[in-house]
Structure 1
Amino acid sequence: MTEALADRRPVPSLDRLVADLVPPPRFADARLETYVPDPAHPSQAQAKERIGAFAAQLGRPRSGGGLLARLRGKDTAAPAHGLYLDGGYGVGKTHLLASLFHVAPGRPVYGTFVEYTNLVGAMGYQNAVELFSSASVLCIDEFELDDVGDTLLITRLIRELSDAGVAVVATSNTLPEALGEGRFAAQDFLREIQSMAERFDVLRIDGEDYRHRGGDVRTPPLAEETVREHAAATDGATLDGFEDLLAHLKEVHPSRYGAMIDDIRCVHLTGLRTITDHHDGLRFVVLVDRLYDREVPVLASGTDVAEIYTGELLASGYRKKYYRSLSRLASLARDGAALAGV
């Protein structure tokens, strides 16, 4: 009988959560040399060059804290400088961030905004500061600006680590409808980090979503019989009814979703429907992110992936998460359809 994700209740240790602070399997081999800029968007080549230059200066001594500090007998270095990669979905920001991690000297640390907030919650703020204070660079993918509490928490963490000499590089997304409005997401980011805004250089990366040129995320659902038959014939597969999965996600903390899909080669879902509730939607977003990170294909019957979130959710304050999820889920569903020969 095919296993169900709804039967999995992982309890990862704190050591496991810390060990996971590296680029996910999808970007394990990401390097600057393998990032191919789109000639139609020069900002991509410029960002690649800037990331390389930034990596080269990591670990170098920073200038002291000025004359006043020296007169007081304090050998205080200036706060570490950081980068913010701003752009739409699928333009290569995560590839560049992972590439930086792989060439950074010392002890780089990599995680998504959600992973950092979950870890700080699990181990305590001061323990997190001590853990990360020896890092050469803190890479934060998918910086979220829609949760005030979490944003303030990570902002405080960035400030303390920057003061301790840890460089910070973050990515976030510009909404599709804001792509022509300049540094839309960057302005939000700099406003939220307030007193540290001068410590970040913004790199704007333009371009189209490489997963869906033209923005099309429509992915026709598979027949339920096809989904079930493929699940039964595939080693390492799971099979869940969509309602059962949503109910299960309520019982598992999002920080454990990565462990929940350990050793899973392919996810099968029946009865996919439009999600109307934010709580269900945001939990499903986290699951899609973890599946995408690990390159786990999804075969689904029911509604079209493009209709997974209501217009109300897509227009809400969490819309960046939902749009990113649409792009990633469509990519995984197309991978799944290819496996099924559709």
Structure 2
Amino acid sequence: MDGTTTAPAPAAPAVSADVSKGPLPLYRARVAAGALRADPAQAHAAETLQDLWRRLRGYDPRPEAKEEPGLLARFFRRKPVDDQPGGPPLGLYLVGEVGRGKSMLMDLFFETADVPRKRREHFHAFMQTSHRRIHEWRRAHGDAADPIPPLADRIVAEAALLCFDEFQVHDIVDAMLLGRLFEALFARGVVVVATSNTAPADLFKGKPGRDAFLPFIAMIQKRLEVLHLSALQDYRRDRIRGLPTWHTPLDGRAERALDAAFRELSGVAHGEPCSLTVLGRKVEVPQHHRGVARADFDTLCGAYLGAADFLAIATHFHTLVLDGVPRLGPENYDRARRFVTLIDTLYEHRCKLVASAEAVPDQLYEKGEGAAIFQRTASRLMEMQSQEYLALPHLT
């Protein structure tokens, strides 16, 4: 029976141990336990991940540790993997609409992957780290030194398996870096598994400079098997449709409700900070995980942020958990104006909002200059709590 592990019969072949481990048995066990709903598309993706799991068991592209000192330098001068027999297995690019279970499947795969060195992170965070390391290298060695080979050396020393959540490219600087960096990583035997809402052929689509990005897309399609996940249901929207999204007044109960909402939607109690690059500036997001961001009102509307900054938030994250919306009026009009821009941007991109506030939307800005303008924002805030809005797909 699916999800049940039994002792192998005496005559079972030695490889039978493989089928009692890995993401597929774990997926079946959770379906059997009622923790997951059976879904044919998810089951097919789990089977594909199981096959990759088998091929990756014990995988490490580095030379044997018993070799003499200097082996690392010799390894990094090896010929590309394509020129060697028995090169690494193809990675996997799991693409599908939001809420179809891609991150859940990645959880199962990464948890069970029998690889000595593996690393999983949000793709945007990986790119930020890469840019920081390049900056550090150039500061130490000068602009004339090529930072890509040492960066690739450092990454492969940390992980032979890279798992990326939410693979997406919005920034031209990232686009220009990716081709050379991933070529170097693949040459060193790194295997990549990624989830994305965007098919490889549509990455960076419609952006200036995309022609120079096309070789990277071709490389991804060559090195990663592309699997489209067409699950029957949007499980993420199911979760948020069951949650109250506006909590008032600002008290301990509201704070606990937002804690619970972030945990339910992201899968963690507390996210990691990140920054988004907008027109050469950094927009700081205090917490994020799996497409859910959390910030307080003062961080977003008390700072000098504008429409471009809020657009980056609305497109990078499918849900914003916003703490501490105060009453608004002429005395804090600048903050109110930024809040109006934030809500307009979230609304236009169907980004979901869970918030705590001093009052219900139509009582946030009741009188004084700007109150009439805020009526549309209040109306949108009410609509954003509706089941119809919560069922809409996120627009990136």
Q: What's the TM-score once normalised by structure 2's chain length? A: 0.48
How many angstroms does 1:254 deviate by? Answer: 5.5
Aligned mates of 2:239, 2:286 — CA distance in 1: 31
Displacement after TM superposition at 1:159 (Å): 2.1
Distance 1:271 1:86, change over 3 A: closer
**Pairing of 1:37-52 with structure 2 (within 5 A):** 38-39=37-38, 41-52=39-50
In the superposition, relative to structure 1, how do residues 83 and 133 fare at CA in structure 2: closer, same or farther (>3 Å)? same
Superposition map of 1:135-284 within 5 A? 135-174=159-198, 185-189=199-203, 192-207=216-231, 208-213=233-238, 221-223=246-248, 226-228=249-251, 230=253, 253=282, 257-258=286-287, 269=297, 277-283=307-313
Matching residue's letter, 1:132: I
Structure 1 or 2, whichever has the larger Rg, is 2
Question: Which residue of structure 2 lines up, in the alignment, with residue 133 of structure 1?
Answer: 156
Distance 1:217 1:231 in 2: 16
Structure 1 match to 2:104: 95
Cα drift, residue 94 of structure 1: 1.3
C-alpha separation in 1, matches of 2:60 and 2:237:
43
Are 2:145 and 1:115 equivalent residues in the alignment? no
Query: C-alpha deviations, 1:47-72, integer Å up to 9, x for none?
Result: 0111122122114589xxxxxx99xx
Letter in 1 for 2:161: V
2:343 maps to what in 1? 308
Q: Secondary structure at the match of 1:138?
A: strand
Change (3 A) 1:128 1:228: farther
Distance change (3 Å), C-alpha of 1:309 and 1:146: farther
The separation in 1 between residues aligned to 2:219 and 2:53, in whole angstroms, is 24
CA shift, 1:277, in A, is 0.6
Quote the offset at 1:281 in angstroms.
Answer: 3.3
Q: Is the 2:314–2:345 Cα contact (8 Å) retained in structure 1?
A: no
Contact 2:314 2:346 in 1 (8 A): no
Q: Distance in 1 between matches of 2:189 and 2:131?
A: 23
Q: Against the structure 1 CA distance between its residues 300 and 61, is the aligned structure 2 distance closer, same or farther, given a 3 Å change threshold?
A: closer
Contact 1:278 1:313 in 2 (8 A): no
Judge which range, 42-51 or 205-214, deviates more. Answer: 205-214
In structure 1, distance between residues paired with 2:173 and 2:131: 12
Paired amino acid for 1:227: L
Native 8 Å contact 2:60 2:116 kept in 1? no
Question: Aligned equivalents of 1:34 and 1:140: distance in 2?
Answer: 23
Q: Does the CA-based 8 Å contact 2:286-2:295 persist in structure 1?
A: no
**RMSD over equivalenced CA pairs, Å:** 4.9
SS in 2 for 1:280: helix
Distance 1:233 1:203 in 2: 38
Q: CA deviation at 1:201?
A: 0.9
**CA 1:217/1:194 → structure 2, altered by over 3 Å: closer, same or farther?**
farther
What is the count of residue pairs matched by the alignment?
245
Structure 1's 119 and 254: CA in aligned 2 closer, same or farther, altered over 3 A? farther
Q: CA deviation at 1:203?
A: 1.4
Report the 3-state secondary structure (helix = DSSP H, G, I; strand = E; otherwise coil) of the residue aligned with 2:95: strand
What do the CA deviations read for 1:158-185 (whole angstroms, capped 9, x no partner)? 22111211100111115xxxxxxxxxx2
Report the Cα distance in structure 2 between the residues aligned to 1:210 and 1:309, rounded to whole angstroms.
26
What is the one-letter code of the residue matched to 2:343? I
Give the TM-score, by structure 1 length. 0.55
1:56 aligns with 2:54: yes
What is the letter of the counterpart of residue 83 of structure 1?
L
Instruction: In structure 1, give the amino acid aligned to 2:202.
Output: D
Structure 1: unaligned runs, 5 residues or longer? 1-30, 63-68, 175-184, 237-248, 315-322, 334-342
TM-superposed deviation, 1:106: 0.8
Q: Unpaired segments of 5 or more residues in structure 2?
A: 1-25, 62-77, 135-146, 204-212, 260-276, 327-335, 357-396
Question: AA paired with 1:106?
Answer: P
